[in-house]
Chain A
Amino acid sequence: MSADDFTDDMDEIRQIFFDECDEQLALLEEQLTSLTENTGDAEKINTIFRCVHSIKGGAAAFGMEDLVKFSHLFESVLDRFRSGYIPVDMEAVKTFLKCKDTLFDIVGAFKDGGQSYIVAPENVAELDVYLNSGAGSRSENIEMEDVFGLSFAPVKIEIDPPTDQKYSIIINVSSQFYKRGDDIRNILATLSELGQMTVDLDVANVPLLNTIQPDQSYLIWKVLLVTDIARQEIEEVFEWSGDDIHAEIILLTDKIIKTETYLPIFDDKHEELQIKKTVDRKGIATVRVDIQRIDKLVDLIGELVINQGAIQSQMRRNKISGDSFLGNVVAAQEQLIHELQENVIMMRAYPIKTVFQKLGRVVRETARFTDKQVKLILEGEDTEVDRSILEKISDPLTHMVRNAIDHGIEDSAERLKVGKEAEGLLRLRAFQRSGRIIVEIQDDGAGLDPERIYDKAVEKKIIEKGEKLDRDEIFSLIFEPGFSTVAKVTDVSGRGVGMDVVKKSLQQINGRIFINSTKGKGTTFSISLPFTLSVIEGIIFKAERQDFVIPVNNVSETVIFDPAKAFHIGDGKYGYPYRDGYLSVIYAAEILGYRPDGKNQKICFVIENENEDKIAFVVDKIIDHSRFVVKNLEDNYRKIKCFSTATILGDGNVAFILDVEFLFGEILKKESPC
């Protein structure tokens, strides 16, 4: 193996470590948030402890010192909660969440190639408080040596007694111990030098004389040692004898002696039980697959769909009926490919949980910043969304959550004044509706004030004073560039990006956004998203002998185009009657730079954008209505006007997919479309 291979391998292992970190952090967040509602659940604390612990183990193996130090500190504190020294309360949960966020940041820093990360001192101080409070406390001083080199092996951190502590030591020896000529008396003698010692000999395991094996060891020594020395020193006494002697050293505190419910003797079994439970919880077996392999699979099935199209067009050309044997087989095959495609696309789906959990942190931080009390409720976290979409909704959602807390939810005093609970409610909900994913962000804050929005829009010259708008139109003004309802720029949401950016980024993934708000009651933003970006339903049409695809969700109606009804509206543009009004006409041929001759244009799509603006889009001929595999042009080229994506047709040719939003944007700016 060459040096290069080795670094490659290391990188790969590092990547796996970071992937695992992400999983652990997600689990951590999940456990911590549920801890909020079910305070002091020992099982949960255990899981949390293990998450932090495994991050620490990996970090030590990769020499990420700062990550090791912080997770060690966090873990030590958790251990004190786990052992029952300190009861879990809401304050503690808050601290844990903050620590989780810090861990996330440190992991992120290392993932981005950083070598170090300086943890905010107040974060450390907060942990130190817990470390030094309650029974059996001591000040922690972590040296890297303590944790280095142990790599993934579990590291047990014990608490050193500053004063006399009681240890219960249970000693089991194997027959090998005696065969090597060792003597238990030497060990007991050494122990007796460490402090006050009493020894009990447990003979319960000694069998009857007729069954006794003369070379076996049946005796158990129970030692009670009162000493002020560190646990490590006791352990050292046994180290000489290696595996031949088994000693359980248990620190007895008053509390434990009194209650006797948490004797760590049972800890191992407890741990086992825990692991089993975790496995049960996941239930379904999963396989870790590189996302690129799945993407490749999606691509291949895309090609299969294209081939299928080729077969069908060849059949039509050769006038083979769909009722023939071949026709039936091809139809069955189409169905299979369709199912295959859906299944593979499902493989790329992730529960929206991954995004929601990140928002948990946003909510906490924003609430802290704005000094408001906010309770976050998550619903439908298991709703699955394609990975590509998930990546793109994280930022807009973050912004909207910040907005909801900063502008929507009132502070406690204000809320109490209007008869609401002091704590504001923020509800994030995800669900499926007619093939699309709906994400709702609902707050019970002050709601949008239509009058204020109207005045603001006039002030910002977005609308003319006196312009008549209905409620929904007024609400949608907040999506206009340059609109911001708050006069002062706040740290939280006033970062120069407004709701217009949110809307734009959602549009890029074919998302739509709606507002529902009642003054004084709260606001709900609903985002409607497609399930996937890799397949669209579209209509394929011809213009100037070239094929194009238009997404079906942009077409509100298809009508026969009668050139006689088109009328000139100046600047070479035409109008066309539609229902009880008139629409502007755009000829598909214009996009290609041709002058339409008015003879070939037979069909008119009434196309619609997000704002429900309508245009009559005139094409030569409709060819088919089908599902198309979306290919990104930027993969190998760059953005091009009017078409953000393309697809491959049955004959192997490329057809561009019309970017309707872009088209409207250009038309409304009165620029020639392309």
Chain B
Amino acid sequence: MGKSLVFSLGLQEFSVQISAVKEIKEWSKATAFPAAPSFVEGVVNVRGAVIPLVDMGQMIGVSSDNNEKKAIIFLRNETKVIGFSVTNVTDISDMDDTHFRDLPELSSENLKYFSNGIQSLGERMIFSVNVSSLFEGSLQ
């Protein structure tokens, strides 16, 4: 399954495939725009490109309260780049099939849409997040 970037949203851990990660930056305030979906913080300037910033925690809807946001992970899918604010970036891990489990039955539809399973890494439990779902969700 290859290497993944592990990050946290609140207290829970998530991961995306490393090949989709373009850049990681410290969180900064975005320029808000009207009529934006609640999970879109606005747009930010990354070396001359105007890129939307999405609050991933809010979009996936896993952690109830407003998470602290310390980092932005910029992901690339086809031609577009979107920034996702997360609580923290933890590490890079090798993912393997033998420790990959399905989500529990009662997971929210939203979580099932964005995540395809859980990677157990010793004591750790990491939700694997699907990059193309993230983009579809963000561009709605």
Q: In this complex, what residue of B is CB-closest to A647?
A: B50
Bound CA span A636–B139, Å: 9
Q: Total A-B residue pairs with C-beta atoms closer than 8 Å?
A: 67
In the complex, B34 has a CB within 8 A of chain A: yes
Cβ contact within 8 Å between A637 and B43 = yes
In the complex, A652 has a CB within 8 A of chain B: yes
Given the interface contacts A631-B50, A637-B80, does A643 sit within 8 Å of B45 by beta carbon?
Answer: no
In the complex, B44 has a CB within 8 A of chain A: yes
In the complex, B52 has a CB within 8 A of chain A: yes
Interface residue ranges of A592-647 to B (CB < 8 Å): 592-593, 631-633, 635-638, 640-643, 646
B-side residues, CB < 8 A to A, are: 30-36, 42-45, 47-52, 79-82, 139
Cβ contact within 8 Å between A642 and B48 = no
B16 to A: closest C-beta gap in Å: 17
Which of A131-139, A296-304, A558-566 makes up part of the contact surface?
A296-304
**23 A-B contacts, Cβ less than 8 Å apart?**
A303-B47, A303-B48, A546-B31, A591-B34, A593-B34, A631-B48, A631-B49, A635-B79, A636-B49, A637-B52, A637-B80, A638-B139, A640-B33, A640-B35, A641-B34, A642-B35, A646-B43, A652-B45, A654-B42, A654-B43, A654-B50, A655-B31, A656-B31
A631 to B: closest C-beta gap in Å: 4
In the complex, A648 has a CB within 8 A of chain B: yes
* Contacting residues, chain A, for B33 (C-beta < 8 A): 640, 643, 656
* Contacting residues, chain B, for A636 (C-beta < 8 A): 49-52, 80-82
* Contacting residues, chain B, for A546 (C-beta < 8 A): 31-32
Q: In this complex, what residue of A is CB-closest to B30?
A: A654
- A632-B50, A646-B50 are known contacts; what are 19 more A-B pairs with Cβ within 8 Å? A299-B49, A303-B47, A631-B49, A631-B50, A633-B43, A633-B50, A635-B80, A636-B49, A636-B51, A636-B80, A637-B51, A637-B52, A648-B50, A652-B45, A653-B31, A654-B43, A654-B44, A655-B31, A674-B35
Looking at chain A's contact residues, is the secondary structure mostly helix, strand, loop, or mixed? mixed
* Contacting residues, chain A, for B30 (C-beta < 8 A): 654
**B42, B45, B139 pick with most chain A CB within 10 angstroms:** B45
In the complex, A306 has a CB within 8 A of chain B: yes
Cβ contact within 8 Å between B45 and A654 = yes
A-B pairs, 3 with minimum CB distance: A674-B34, A654-B31, A637-B52
* Contacting residues, chain B, for A635 (C-beta < 8 A): 49-50, 79-80
Bound CA span A655–B42, Å: 11
Bound CA span A593–B35, Å: 8
Interface residue ranges of A260-309 to B (CB < 8 Å): 299-300, 302-303, 306
* Contacting residues, chain A, for B49 (C-beta < 8 A): 299, 631, 635-636
Bound CA span A591–B16, Å: 36
**A306, A633, A637, A643 pick with most chain B CB within 10 angstroms:** A637
Cβ contact within 8 Å between B34 and A299 = no
* Contacting residues, chain A, for B139 (C-beta < 8 A): 637-638
Bound CA span A284–B79, Å: 36
Bound CA span A521–B79, Å: 51
Cβ contact within 8 Å between B48 and A648 = yes
A49 to B: closest C-beta gap in Å: 42
Bound CA span A656–B81, Å: 19
* Contacting residues, chain B, for A642 (C-beta < 8 A): 34-35
Bound CA span A674–B35, Å: 6
A632 to B: closest C-beta gap in Å: 8
